[in-house]
Amino acid sequence: MNRRGFLQNLAGLTVASAIPGLVPAATGAIEENSEEARAKRRRGRFVNVALRTHEDKEVRFYDDLLKDKIVLINMIQAACADGSCPLITANLVRVQQILGDRIGRDIFMYSISLTPEHDTPEVLRKYAENFRVKPGWLFLTGKPANIEAVRRSLGYVIADRPLEDAIPKRHTGVVRYGIEPLERWGACPALTNPEAIARYISWIEPQGERP
């Protein structure tokens, strides 16, 4: 992804993350910051479609992967034509090493296939094994319509250039990270220095506590 494309994607992610929900206009509406309103807003931010892990287990995107978790997410192609995806995965392996046993305990990593017709659970399992990925990092595939819904709900969209938006590799260059229960989200280039990516996650965590 070029710099212009990344900035446009990041702008979209930032805007999407900054919208807290509609302000109630009618008497008796749920208070915007009540627990009920926050739970509804959180659930409505992302789709809850079925995906399949590289371990060949079915999961629901929101309920099983995002809800109440700190996450780091990127989009991949196991057979990346320009060779960028292996470089990105290797970079994120280093992030996993830096964060150590927090991965799989209170931080979870997800790499979601943009080419599910090729990236079956078996293909993704071998891909993960090639990079010696440790527990706490899932590689995900699923029905094309479900993958598309996930991609869009995460903000990996080039809204003003639909032809470019349809090219999978245009969406592999950004990592999104967030604390779902606190509705704190950010993004950075996927080839950012791994120590910096690990710091970005700590910066959005509340001081002295974890969700």
Span 102-111, pLDDT tens digits: 999 999 999 9
The answer to whether residue 111 sits within a structural domain is yes
Q: How many domains does the chain have?
A: 1
Tell me the pLDDT tens digit for each residue of 117-172. 999 999 999 999 999 999 999 999 999 999 999 999 999 999 899 999 898 888 99
Whichever domain contains 117, its CATH number is 3.40.30.10
Residue 25: pLDDT over 80 = no
Q: What is the mean pLDDT of the chain?
A: 86
- Name residue 80's amino acid: C
Do 175 and 137 contact (CB within 8 A), yes or no? no
| Interatomic CA distance for residues 73 and 110, integer angstroms | 5
Distances (CA, A) of 61 to 7, 13, 107, 142, 162: 26, 18, 16, 11, 25
Q: Would you say residue 25 lies in a domain?
A: no
Is 208 within the bounds of a domain?
no
In a domain, 210, yes or no: no
Q: How many Cα neighbours within 13 Å face the side chain of 195?
A: 0
Q: Which residue has the higher pLDDT, 82 or 162?
A: 162
35 is a domain residue: no
Q: Are 184 and 101 in contact (CB under 8 A)?
A: no
How long, in residues, is the chain? 211
Higher pLDDT, 12 or 162: 162
pLDDT tens for each residue of 162-206:
999 898 888 999 999 999 999 999 999 999 999 999 999 988 988
Alpha-carbon span 143 to 86, nearest angstrom: 23
pLDDT the model gives residue 46: 95
% of residues, the chain, pLDDT over 70: 82
Residue 60: exposure state from Cβ atoms within 10 A (0-12, 13-18, ≥19): middle
Residue 108 within any structural domain of the chain: yes
In percent, how much of the chain has pLDDT > 90? 68
Tokens standing for residue 136: 């706490």
152: left (phi over 0), alpha (psi -120 to 50) or beta: alpha
pLDDT number for residue 13: 47
User: What is the pLDDT at residue 2?
Assistant: 45
Asked whether residue 129 is domain-assigned, the answer is yes
Query: pTM for the full model?
Result: 0.82
Q: What is the mean pLDDT of residues 25-51?
A: 79
Tell me whether residue 120 is exposed, middle or buried, using C-beta atoms within 10 angstroms of its C-beta: 0 to 12, 13 to 18, 19 or more: middle
Q: Is residue 206 part of a domain?
A: no
Distance from C-alpha of 90 to C-alpha of 85, rounded to nearest angstrom:
8
Using CA of residue 76, residue 82, residue 87, residue 88, what is the dihedral sign? negative
**In terms of residue numbers, what domain contains 92?**
3-17+46-199
